Amino acid sequence: MKTINITADDGIERAFFIEAETRLNGADYLLVTDGSDDDEVEVLILKDISEVTDEEACYVLVTDPVECEALLNVFQEILDQEEFEE
């Protein structure tokens, strides 16, 4: 499984697992988890805000509730389809 390193505002870098990727309305999104095995798994939705000319992708946390809800539905369909194919 692919990972992405995220640096928090406090400067601490953490690795997250990329669970699913999608493109919606011209923007790329990632569904990532911290990979915890406990009941407190951290799940984030990230949006790629980088320009085409940027060498590296730049992601921001999606915080808009409407955008989050729409993306959660899309990611749920993707994950359900992957589970069905296995």
The pTM score is: 0.86
Question: pLDDT at position 1, please?
Answer: 82
Q: What is the pLDDT along the chain (86 residues), one digit of tens a residue?
A: 899 998 888 999 999 999 999 999 999 999 999 877 777 888 999 999 999 899 988 999 999 999 999 999 999 999 998 777 66
Question: pLDDT at position 82, please?
Answer: 79
All structural domains of the chain with their residue ranges: 3-85
Our CA angle for 3, 7, 13, nearest 5°, is: 70
Question: pLDDT at position 52, please?
Answer: 87
